[in-house]
Amino acid sequence: MATIYRPPAEHPHLDATDPGLLGAVVRGEARLSPQQALELLRSMPLTGLGRWADARARAIHGDTLRSYVIDRNINYTNVCNAKCTFCAFRRDADDHDAYTLEASEIHDKIAELVAIGGTQILMQGGMNPDLPLDWYLELLASIKEKFPGVHVHAFSPPEFIEFVHFFNPPGEDLEAKIRWVMVRLKEAGLDSLPGGGGEIFSHPVRRKIGLGKCDAEAWLTTMYVAHTLGLFTSATMMFGHIEGLADRVHHMKLVRDWQDRVLREGGATVEDAIGPSAAHAQAFGHYKAFISWPFQRENTPLGRVKDWGAKPEDTGPFPGDVVANLEGTGDPKAHPEFGRRVRMSGASMYLRTQAVSRLMLDNIYSIGASWVTMGPHIGQVALMYGANDMGSVMMEENVVSSAGTTYCLDEAVLCRLIRGAGFVPAQRNNGYDLIRVHDGPDSPDLKVTDWSEHRTRRLHIQNTKPEAEHAAKLTIGGAEKSV
Ligand code: SF4
């Protein structure tokens, strides 16, 4: 009989590197305390951390298969009334390169996706005050009418909070207002929510970098509403800027706590929490995945902030670490340079952070590698540092690419990377059900005889409609497509 979900116990008196503790975490019998997670993030040698995270990933996902999805990012508008300091994508409505896609343009993009075996769209935009609720309802309905088999993963929590401001729905509090809007979007065709806009939850950091964006409470409440409506969501974290290491752990802790809550209230079993149980999850939702990535600085206001250590007077601990605490309540005045210096993350810190997320987030099924920002080979290595999923082939991406880093991979390359890491690639759907296991000679990568046609490309897409003359080209299934 399935065991009802109950979080594993913490053992805060144990040293974070105690093999007994970490072995129990791997088996799902113990839970890291935030302090222990912080100690691992700060000081455990990278390879050791990777071994424990890999062991935990294998305990949940086995030794054989690692997944990917074929979806398409569609950024339906770049008009946004927020001014996040890390964003190079947003435009004001009267900027010459502001755009909002027509429904027919979105349909064309989905048709291209379906032609290469894609199963899902990830649709996010700026927060555009000129679009009424009916625009979204009609768009979703038209997508479902034309492409009933395509999963619509759309509208991150900051967009929902702005929907509440734009549409002024009835409801006695924010949760009720979000619910009113979300019910209607779900009825029109919304299938799940992406975890965009998570950034870093702690108030001092969020107030500095997410100008005009919702706070952590609103973000988490939006996801909670989605879960109670039976929707899957993902959670994200963008690190490697002004935050301290404790802020990252605090962020993970909040995701874990809210996941505990929804699993408990939903009457989930342990299998529901960390097993691919899409069928049951139609009755209740939860976070299915966590993906973290380092801040990409190009073309962003935050990216122009000097690195810590760039000035002779930059001595002592990083300002973000002085301010941060595990409760997310740090005093921004604790260091005069807080918010005025960044600490960028490279590959090593990316892998450390991801590995800790795998060990800390014991109630989340999937940890996604971020090859889009880190490059295909670090993405591949990430499969040995706790990640079980390589995310999506990249047909189109306009947000982090605007900030300077987008690698572009097709399905054959993605499968080759997974196989090269020692696993069998498997295509999944949004619910993490595996729909094709590539263990035979007809696998996308094993059919390739000339890899020159499948080179990894780096994109830097202009902030104009993708059809514009600057649009980059990507080879997908042997044919060049505008992205
Ligand atoms: S990150 Fe999103 S919400 Fe923030 S300014 Fe850019 S488009 Fe707007």
* CA–centroid distance, residue 85 to ligand 1 (Å): 9
Q: How far, CA to CA in Å, does 22 sit from each of 16, 71, 127, 341, 384?
A: 8, 35, 42, 34, 17
Task: Take atom 1 of ligand 1 and give the residue whose Cα is closest.
Answer: 87
3-state secondary structure the chain: CCCECCCCEECCCCCCCCHHHHHHHHCCCEECCHHHHHHHHHHCCHHHHHHHHHHHHHHHHCCCEEEEECEEEEECECECCCEECCCCCCECCCCCCCCECCHHHHHHHHHHHHHCCCCEEEEECCCCCCCCHHHHHHHHHHHHHHCCCCEEEECCHHHHHHHHHHHCCCCCCHHHHHHHHHHHHHHHCCCEECCCCCCCCCHHHHHHHEECCCCHHHHHHHHHHHHHCCCEEEEEEEECCCCCHHHHHHHHHHHHHHHHHHHHHCCCEHHHHHCCCHHHHCCCCCEEEEEEEECCCCCCCHHHCCECCCCCCCCCCCHHHHHCCCCCCCCHHHCCCCCCCECCCCHHHHHHHHHHHHHHCCCCCEEECCHHHHCHHHHHHHCCCCCCEEEECCCCCCCCHHHCCCEECCHHHHHHHHHHCCCEEEEECCCCCEEEECCCCCCCCCCCCCHHHHCCEECCCCCCCCCCCCCCEEEECCEEEEC
- Does 89 sit in the ligand 1 pocket, CB within 6 Å? yes
Counting from 1 in the atom list of ligand 1, the atom nearest the Cα of 210 is: 4
Give pLDDT, residue 277. 60
Q: Name the residue of 77, 81, 90, 128 whose CB sits within 8 Å of the most ligand 1 atoms, as the mutation to test its pocket.
A: 90
Q: Measured in angstroms, how far is the CA atom of residue 480 from the centroid of ligand 1?
A: 30
Does residue 84 line the site of ligand 1, with CB under 6 A?
Answer: yes
Q: How far is CA 432 from CA 73, 270, 428, in A?
A: 18, 16, 5
Closest-lying ligand 1 atom to the alpha carbon of residue 87: 6
CA–centroid distance, 10 to ligand 1, in Å, is: 37
The reply to whether ligand 1 has any atom less than 6 angstroms from the CB of 302 is no
Q: Return the residue matching tokens 């940890």.
A: 367
Please state, as a whole number, how many other Cβ atoms lie within 10 Å of the Cβ of residue 226: 26
Q: Is the CB of 80 under 6 A from ligand 1?
A: yes
- Residue 125 CA: which ligand 1 atom is closest? 7
**pLDDT confidence of residue 479:** 27
**For residue 269, what pLDDT is reported?**
81
Q: 77 C-alpha to center of ligand 1: Å? A: 11
Residue in 266, 264, 268, 193 with CA at minimum distance from that of residue 223:
193
Residue pair 275/11 in contact (Cβ under 8 Å)? The answer is no
Q: What is the pLDDT of residue 467?
A: 36
**What is the reported pLDDT for 398?**
57
pLDDT of residue 283: 63
- Pick from 76, 84, 159 the residue to mutate for probing ligand 1's pocket: most ligand atoms within 8 Å of its CB: 84
CA of 87 to the centre of ligand 1 (A): 6
Residue with tokens 């964003």: 87
Q: Whose CA is nearest to atom 4 of ligand 1?
A: 84
The residue ranges of the chain whose pLDDT is under 50 are: 278, 459-483
Probe residue for ligand 1, chosen from 83, 87, 214 as the CB with the greatest number of ligand atoms within 8 Å? 87
What structural domains does the chain harbor? 34-482 (3.20.20.70)
Q: Is 126 in the pocket of ligand 1 (CB under 6 A)?
A: yes
To the question of pTM greater than 0.75 for the whole model, the response is yes
Q: Report how far ligand 1's centroid is from the alpha carbon of 412 (Å).
A: 32
What 3-state DSSP class applies to 12?
coil
For residue range 427-464, list pLDDT tens digits in order. 998 888 899 999 999 999 999 988 887 766 554 343 44
403 CA distance to ligand 1 middle (Å): 12
